[in-house]
A and B are shown apart, each in its own frame.
Chain A
Amino acid sequence: MRFSGFRVFTEALRGHKGWQPLWRNPEPQPAYDYVIVGGGGHGLATAYYLATTFRQARIAVLEKGWLGSGNIGRNTTIIRSNYLLPGNQPFYEFSMKLWEGLEQELNFNAMVSQRGILNLFHTDAQRDAYRRRGNAMLLSGADAELLDSAQVRAMYPFLNFDNARFPIKGGLLQRRAGTARHDGVAWGYARGADMAGVDLIQNCEVTGFRIENGRVRGVETSRGHIGAGKVGVAVAGSSGRVMAMAGMRLPIESHVLQAFVTEGLKPVIDGVITFGAGHFYVSQSDKGGLVFGGDIDGYNSYAQRGNMAVIEDVAQGGMALMPMIGRARLLRVWGGIMDMSMDGSPIIDRTPIEGLYLNAGWCYGGFKATPASGHAFAHLLATDTPHDTARAYRLDRFARGRPIDEKGMGAQPNLH
């Protein structure tokens, strides 16, 4: 079933009775060549690229709940490639390029909207840092523009430019960045993987690994044993729990990050604005709600909900940046579990157990990485070599003194 304008038109004439479910709901087979644990954005993208780009094989995705029930449905939908370090920026720019062709490739409307992201700065030193970051972005093939205060004012006249503590001196703009429909991304990849023959098995929780002589042979699940040639784990905030079943401790802590949306308002913010100094960022959804967020709560959590102190902190940041936000009524607050790594950067690597692979440590930045993460993980699973843009994301990089620490915070996950 392909989607097109013509199809929508003819279905409208037929009372929309011809639409089919987007994927099958198969029973698990006794064994697969590849088993992906985790039916979120990264797991589904991995299965899709594994099935379409790298290897035709028997592939299954195991999901303990329903597809896309974790962080892919809980984020603030921002896509961007505005990193600094050489281990990171080419990977995120690769992801940005995949976003740009995603809907055509998947034949699915993921509502990718390149509406631009603006990182505000407030001091000369921050301007220098953003100039350097912008140059790093340009070197990786991404786009970047440094705006002065007047140019920012022309875009967003309602910002509080003359805040005594954080006057807005300008911003770093990436026009190709933007937002995407987060659930649509999961559904698009799920449909694409299903059409390529991947078995998407829901309500199937992995309860253990079968490991013999240092090699993984399969997984134990709530629906019985499933044999596997290779197992890829992409379970975000649950990484620690799942890999503990394989006897591994990870350089990861799980933390809760909250996000917020207001009632629907008339169009006021056409891009994404980040106010790093105030721990606040905001965009406006196509339905009109202001979608915003701030820092993680800062303590280990698996609760998918946070506490009041951070809600107050984020609200204060919003009031400092754009005082008119005080008139908007908050509609929802929710939380997701972040796999916060020791340097704030992800891991896409083999593990000491043969045939077991790990994709984790995305902190609060996993959504934008979804296409590249899936592509790079599929590459690793199929070829046993890292993708060119993901060579730095090694599991043993801390032991080798090669962390990728964008914020320079050291091994303190709640500060990244």
Chain B
Amino acid sequence: MLIPHPLLGLRDSSEFTYLGDAALLDRPDGMAEGAAARFHDYVHLRDNPAGIHRELWFHEQGDRSWLVVTRNTVTHEILGAELAREARLKGGAA
């Protein structure tokens, strides 16, 4: 798989380390009501879709940036990639 890095162009996926669903960017508020239950869901439960999946890849063998990659889990087709920082600023992490 080739990942279209927004700064570096097409990079081989083997340069990256995979973390998981980009919903992990939306960390719950630890001080809020019911935080323990929310953290359980945040840490352990996944949508695990068959199809379009937004997910976090770390360019460990490269510029060490975190990317949000949009990928089809059924075909492995990669539909896009953006810097996780920018995805987070847009508020559309999940």
Contacts and interface: CB of A to CB of B under 8 A. Distances in A.
Interface stretch (B26-34, B40-48, B81-89): B40-48
Contacts of A238: 50
A90 to B, nearest CB: 25
B45 A251 contact: yes
B18 A414 contact: yes
A399 B40 contact: yes
Interface in A329-349: 342
Q: Interface range on chain A: under 10, 10 to 19, 20 to 34, or 35 or more?
A: 20 to 34
A240 B44 CA distance: 13
Interface string B70-89: 01011110000000000000
B44 A302 contact: no
Contacts of A135: none
Contacts of B41: 249
A249 B47 contact: yes
A241, A299, A307 — most chain B CB neighbours (10 Å):
A299
Contact of B46 (A252, A299, A301, A399): A252
Contacts of A414: 18, 20
A299 B44 contact: no
Given A309-B13, A399-B40, A302 B50 contact: yes
B44 A398 contact: yes
Contacts of B40: 398-399
B73 A303 contact: yes
A307 B46 contact: no
Contacts of A244: 47
Given A250-B45, A414-B20, A300 B76 contact: no
Contacts of B73: 254, 300-303
A300 B44 contact: no
Contact of A411 (B12, B18, B44): B44
A254 B44 contact: no
Given A300-B55, A309-B13, A414-B20, A241 B46 contact: no
B74 A302 contact: yes
A253 interface: yes
Interface string A273-295: 00000000000000000000000
Judged by DSSP, the binding face of A is mixed
B18 A253 contact: no
A252 B48 contact: yes
A298 interface: yes
Nearest to A313: B14
A8 B52 CA distance: 52
Nearest to A339: B48
A413 B24 CA distance: 14
B20 A300 contact: yes
Interface string A253-281: 11000000000000000000000000000
Nearest to B12: A309
Contacts of B74: 302-303
A303 B14 contact: no
Contacts of A250: 45-46, 48
B7 interface: no
A303 B48 contact: no
B8 interface: no
A215 B78 CA distance: 40
A253 B44 CA distance: 10
A309 B15 CA distance: 10
Interface in A78-120: none
B1 A307 contact: yes
Nearest to A252: B48
B53 interface: yes
A78 B75 CA distance: 29
A299 B55 contact: yes
B76 A301 contact: yes
A116 to B, nearest CB: 35
Q: Sorted from nearest, which 3 A-B pairs have the closest CB atoms?
A: A240-B48, A309-B14, A249-B45
Given A240-B48, A303-B75, 6 more contacts: A250-B46, A299-B55, A300-B53, A398-B43, A398-B44, A399-B44
Interface of B: 1, 12-14, 18-21, 37, 40-41, 43-50, 53, 55, 71, 73-76
26 contacts: A238-B50, A240-B46, A240-B47, A240-B48, A241-B49, A250-B46, A251-B46, A253-B48, A254-B48, A254-B73, A298-B18, A299-B13, A299-B18, A299-B55, A299-B71, A300-B48, A300-B55, A307-B1, A307-B13, A309-B13, A309-B14, A398-B43, A398-B44, A411-B43, A413-B20, A414-B20
